[in-house]
Chains A and B, each alone.
Chain A
Amino acid sequence: MLKRRPLAVLLGLALLSGCATLGEGGASRLDLIRQRRSLRCGVSGKIPGFSYLQTDGSYSGLDVDLCKAFAAAFVPETGAVDYRPLTAPERFTALRTGEIDLLSRNTTMNLSRDAAGGNGLSFAPVVFHDGQGLMVTTDSGINRLEDLQGQSICVGSGTTTEQNLNDAFEARGIAYTPIKYQDLNQVVAGYLQGRCQAMTSDRSQLAAARSGFADPRRHRILEEVLSKEPLAPASVGGDQRLADAMRWVVYALITAEELGITQATVQRRYNEAKRRPELTRLRRFFGIDAGLGEKLGLNDDFVVKVIRATGHYGEIYNRNLGPQSQVPIPRGLNRLGRDGGVMVAPPFQ
């Protein structure tokens, strides 16, 4: 009893102070970031291909490149980023308490995290559509789910992974034998020992596991995706200016890929658009006309800064997860809309 009461008082106080801070309007985190001249970005730091520590002590990965893109837009003078490695339980607390400005830590977007009644976050557009996938050996001749008819598949037991596998195969009427293990490392070991023809997990995890194999080229991840895990950067809910700015930075990355503007060509295209007034679409995108950046509270040329810092979305993807990278993941849903993926951006108008 003695222990509980002070805790209850503290919790009450916390709730009150939480309400007080949420109630303040007008001021945006964006102003604080610009004033500080560096962006505090929460990353995982422990996911191959997404964020990890390089030998020289700098962070690298898809999530890290997004931090750089945001920083290039928000703090154009320096583009400085302060990385803050976060574990899964502390990531939302770190956001809520203002320890970080935004979260770029492969967080799955879902209703309860977005809603004010839940975690109360604001999500930027999805930057990586992860999902459960299957890995097979290249010489097995398995190319589609249907080829797995009557085969055995290694899976972690008691997880949503197992459930999703069952749902997907049931729906297609494919019979299979699940071989269940306690955790991912055992699944990998079972697969490598040849106890099953395929193993299943989130595609990013499959890719990471594969890059540790003795001969990664002998293994392939199938194109089919069994579940939805849309990963998106997030900020605290109720800060519309920051949320809008983040949203349009991601859209700028996608639009740049649609327009074929790369890190290498952005300066040339920018100069060209400046010279030729008839390139209205490009001029709007680069912020030469219309002052779109200013409406977001950013510099008009924020798109140029972003592309110069990281390249367009496809370049970021290929650098970290493309076929030539160390953690290759087939692009699948993450292709542009016109190439059969779901990556599309609304117009810059």
Chain B
Amino acid sequence: MQRRRQLLRHLRRHPLDSALSLAIVLLLAWALWATGQWVVEVADWRVVSANLPLYVSGAYPADQRWRPLVWLGLILTLTLVTLLWPRPRSGQRPGPMRVALPWLWLLMLPLGLAVLAGGAGTGLTAVSSRAWGGLVLTLLLTGASGLLALPLGVILALGRTSDLPVLRHGSRLYIDLMRAVPLIAVLFFGQLLVPLFLPVELEINRVVRAVVAFALFASAYVAEDVRGGLQSIPPTQREAAAALGLNAWQSLQLVVLPQALQIAIPALTNQAIGLLQNTSLMALLGLVELLGISRSLLANPAFIGRHLEVYVWLAALYWLLCTAMALLARRLERSVQPIPRAPGR
């Protein structure tokens, strides 16, 4: 009641105000109506519905499609469990599920690689990475390069804040160099030039090349985010650790890094989401990830001219992925032990 009165008062403050509000509401309503009408009546969604398996796993052999599906199912389950599992009350020890979750997440990547590639040791038919595509490839690219970039970035950040001049300058040079080059240039270098430098017999898989290029690029940004975290830890923390008799490695591992990384989580989430969206650049270099597979499908004479439907669908899909990642990150942020604030003096 109170709020409604407040709202009405705002609207009636001035005739121009009211007119503007009305115009904006009408405009919004019209936009919503037009979009809704397009989605329901005009758009021909067969281009999406008929090609769902391709969006999921690209040109993966049809009789093996259950493998990427199982993997995606596991990820979805894990996401839901992570988001919905009750958080331990403050002061309580986390249950076994909470302890297991991070390890399960880490396990997803090697599991995905094994399930998709198959071959010796897994009892599954081997499927070359040429046949990987769609959502599965997008997730693999993001996951693998993120997992490589994080430790690399932490090492670079530690190097940059180190007292040893060689380490410090080396890390700084690398970070500055990588940040001065556009991502697309790094990717082109990895896809087009690296194979030229290597002897003909040595062929590095191009998915691997893409992952390494993404990881090398992202690590420079991760390093700066982590450095921000490191520098926000007051020097008294190290001094206190030293006073307790911890050596340099112990103090880093037990005192400094856990706090620094926690502070860096929001910035790192940014990087992870950016990384997911950047994988779409690989469509320019012939990988059939989500965007690439869409462009191939649009060339199918049966679906020519359905650009709008495909891109709207892609936007929705990317939105869903990024939102899920953001929610997971928020969950992570809340679940790590809060830093005990120094008692105010």
Taking beta carbons and an 8 Å cutoff, which residues of A are in contact with B?
Answer: 2-3, 10, 13-14, 17-18, 21, 45-49, 51-59, 82-87, 89-90, 93-94, 96-99, 208-209, 211-213, 325-327
Contact = CB atoms under 8 A, between A and B. Distances in A.
Given A3-B177, A55-B50, A57-B62, A87 B284 contact: yes
Contacts of A17: 197-199
12 contacts: A45-B288, A46-B295, A46-B299, A48-B301, A48-B304, A52-B297, A53-B59, A53-B288, A53-B297, A58-B59, A59-B59, A326-B302
Given A53-B299, A99-B195, 7 more contacts: A45-B288, A48-B299, A53-B288, A53-B296, A82-B128, A86-B286, A89-B188
Given A48-B300, A85-B292, A53 B197 contact: no
- Give the interface residue-count category, chain B: 35 or more
A188 to B, nearest CB: 9
A14 B301 contact: no
B59 A57 contact: yes
Interface in B52-100: 53-54, 58-62
Given A45-B288, A49-B301, A82-B128, A56 B62 contact: yes
B196 A21 contact: no
Contacts of A46: 295-296, 298-299
Contact of B196 (A14, A48, A58, A85): A14
Contacts of A13: 197
Interface of B: 50-51, 53-54, 58-62, 128, 130, 173, 177, 188, 191-193, 195-200, 203, 206, 284-286, 288, 292-293, 295-302, 304-305
Nearest to B296: A53
Contacts of B177: 3
A97 B195 contact: yes
Nearest to B283: A87
Rank and list the top 4 A-B pairs by shortest CB-CB distance, nearest first. A212-B305, A326-B301, A212-B304, A52-B299
Nearest to B284: A87
Contacts of B51: 55
B174 to A, nearest CB: 12
Contacts of B59: 53, 57-59, 83
Contact of B296 (A3, A85, A213): A85
A82 to B, nearest CB: 6
A47 B295 CA distance: 10
A interface, by DSSP: helix, strand, loop or mixed? mixed
B284 A55 contact: no
A188 B178 CA distance: 42
A326 B301 CA distance: 6
Most buried by A among B60, B200, B292: B200
B206 A99 contact: yes
B192 A57 contact: no
B286 A55 contact: no
A327 B305 CA distance: 13
A195 B177 CA distance: 51
B145 to A, nearest CB: 20
Contact of A18 (B53, B196, B296, B304): B196
B195 A211 contact: no
Nearest to B180: A3
A221 to B, nearest CB: 15
A208 B288 CA distance: 21
Contacts of B292: 85
Nearest to A87: B286
Contact of A45 (B173, B299, B302, B304): B299
A90 B192 contact: yes
Contacts of B285: 87, 90
A17 B194 CA distance: 12
Nearest to A92: B192
A187 B202 CA distance: 46
Most buried by A among B60, B177, B203, B295: B295
Contact of A52 (B60, B193, B296): B296
B299 A97 contact: no
A52 B300 contact: yes
Contacts of B198: 17, 97
Given A87-B286, A97-B196, A57 B304 contact: no
Contacts of A45: 286, 288, 296, 299
A3 B302 CA distance: 49
B256 to A, nearest CB: 32
Contacts of B300: 48, 52-55
Contacts of B196: 14, 18, 93, 96-97
A4 to B, nearest CB: 12
A99 B292 CA distance: 19
B54 A14 contact: no
Contacts of A58: 59
Contacts of A55: 50-51, 54, 300, 302
Nearest to B287: A85
B202 to A, nearest CB: 10
A326 to B, nearest CB: 3
A213 B302 CA distance: 12
Contacts of A93: 191-193, 195-196
A236 B60 CA distance: 29
Contacts of B203: 97-99
Nearest to A59: B59
A321 to B, nearest CB: 10
Most buried by B among A57, A82, A94, A212: A57
Contacts of A59: 59
Contacts of B297: 52-53
A3 B285 CA distance: 25
